[in-house]
Amino acid sequence: MRNKSMKILVTAYACEPGKGSEPEVGWQWVHQIARFHETWVITRANNRKAIEKALAKSPTNNLHFIYYDLPDWSRTWKRGNRGVHLYHQLWQYKILGIAQKLHKEHKFDICHHITFGVVWHPAFFYKLSDTKIIWGPFGGGEVAYRGCVKDFSMRGKITEFMRRIFSLYFFRLDPIVQNNFRNASLLLTRTDMTAKRIPKKYLLKTKVFLETGFSSIPIFERNRSSEKINIFTMSRLIPYKNIRVAILVMKLLTKKLSRVKLHIYGDGALEQDLKLLVENLNLKDNVIFHGNVSHDKMLNNIKIMDVLIHPAVRDGGTHSVMEAMAYGIPVICLDNAGPGYMVDDNSGIKINGKDNNEIIIAIANATFKLLTNKEFYETLSNGARNRVSENFLWNQIGDRLNTLYQKVYHGEISS
């Protein structure tokens, strides 16, 4: 297959260097695309300052940014999570005209919609003619462990139920999503669970492709303190992230390892409930809430951590898991969705259980083994770094993506 250099149009709502999480994914993806192709990127005007500062330090000649935001008044109801979904869809609709003008001028070979990757955040690229359309990676088909959901609050249970109904509607009925499915040459899903929700007639053009990556394996002196043992978790404090489980694990662990500490990074609606749980379990000396911290500070703190517990009952691509592995920190997670794919038996421990009680005991036993068995720990620590270096570096992701671009261009993927 001949390696064709193409003209690519990308819509990347989230695209900002140095911010971590999804904005960093968008930034890295457009750079990987531009390694091989002339690339135009439509992104938010809000990202312009950071992007132009980064490009001034490290120019990329074949990477062109077009900036757009909705009027100022519309951003007042977007702050935080309030209204962000509607804002995103209005933004996608408004940039269609920009995309059409650019396509008329440059005649793109491929138009690719990335970031904000869930099925209920489609673009309108399907309205473009004489080009190949790619959507993803996106999620939305991930399903929480039923046994875990029963321990959620009533609000959490209702949220999970409504999400399933919401997801079913978009995968089967939403006209914009169905048009994207129909007209796309390639659909990239974050997980196998989402791929299985795609209508069967489109499965031949559906590929599982995890979007999370890492620039390079960090070189640093491991600083495992002899005075305390540090476990951490990093996520929003909301029901499906299941942080309550990590706290209950600590109740078991402290009976055997009194010096163990759990560091919780992130905030959210359940923060006060979780702090009350810590107080009721008499774990205030062992569980530390750090709130949100900057990405740079987090990468500095991670160097003294020993184990990541990631008890989320459903997740797509997970940045905290990737970063922990790159730093040689073994990961304990549920054998489910994105983390269950990212972690293998040589880099962490994947937990199965019919309910939270089984999961809590299994995580506690796994953590105790890691923290007390030096040889086992070092095996998984080295395996975690190897897992990232062999599979999840950005250039590797870019190479795999370019291979798919070539197959799309040459008509080698059934549509």
* Domain range summary for the chain, segments of one domain joined by +: 7-213+393-409, 229-391
- Looking at CATH, the fold of the domain delimited by 7-213+393-409 is given as Rossmann fold (3.40.50)
Residues 6+ apart with CB under 8 A from 374: none
> Is residue 109 within 8 Å of residue 409, measured between CB atoms?
yes
| pLDDT tens digits for range 80-89 | 566 788 889 9
> Is residue 173 within 8 Å of residue 152, measured between CB atoms?
no
DSSP annotation string for 202-246: GGGGEEE-----BSS---------SS-EEEEEES--SGGG-HHHH
Choose among 18, 98, 86, 9: nearest CA to 58.
18
| pLDDT tens digits for range 10-32 | 999 999 998 777 899 999 999 99
| pLDDT tens digits for range 273-307 | 999 999 999 999 999 999 998 878 888 888 889 99
Q: Within 13 Å, how many C-alpha atoms sit on residue 383's CB side?
A: 16
| pLDDT tens digits for range 336-347 | 767 878 899 999
Which amino acid is present at 325? M
| DSSP 8-state code for residue 318 | -
Domain 229-391: CATH class, spelled out = alpha beta
The gap between the terminal CA atoms of the chain, to the nearest Å, is 19
Q: Give yes or no on whether 7-213+393-409 and 229-391 have one common fold.
A: yes
- For 349, the enclosing helix (H) or strand (E) is strand 348-351
